[in-house]
Amino acid sequence: MQSTKQVIFKLGKEEFSMDIMDVSIIEKYVRVEPFAQSPKNIKGIIRLRGEVIPVYSLRRKFGMEDIEPDDETRFLITKSNGITTAYEVDRMVEIVQVEPNNINQVPSIITGKDTSYIRYVINLDNRLIVSINHDSIMSDEEHNKIETLLKTI
């Protein structure tokens, strides 16, 4: 395994990361427009630089309650399976270089269909950080519904 640069963020008290190469830009929170008939993990859409982007709630995906956005709320803009998506996170922590000796495979006890988005676990300064694969967060059903809804805008 090679070293990797990771964008570390928080949802509640838990830390997660995405590979920096998967993140196009990190944006401050802007108002989300609700969108009827969207999947439960989609909070709505934002309009950014002339583009309509669905906002995906990682809190909902991971079974956490919604919270009111604040000055710390950020969007990680990625292209997930061909769809530009804004992943809403509570706050950014840091961008760090992670060496191979700090990267661990996902324990088999938590490996499954519902956790296929977990790329690996990072042990950094006695912190366990779950690194997620942006292409595996959405289910096929969510992806198809979003693709269909975006065609109607």
pLDDT of residue 113: 62
pLDDT of residue 1: 72
Phi-psi bin for 82: left (phi > 0), alpha (psi -120 to 50), beta? Answer: left
Q: Which CATH class is domain 4-151?
A: mainly beta
Q: Which helix (H) or strand (E) holds 79?
A: strand 74-80
Q: What are the domain boundaries of the chain?
A: 4-151
**pTM check: above 0.85:** yes
pLDDT in tens, 86-132: 999 999 999 999 999 999 888 766 666 667 788 999 999 899 999 99
Question: What SS3 state is found at 150?
Answer: helix
- Look up residue 114 and give its two tokens: 């519902």
pLDDT in tens, 13-34: 999 999 999 999 999 999 999 9
Q: Return the closest-CA partner of residue 76 out of 36, 131, 128, 123.
A: 131
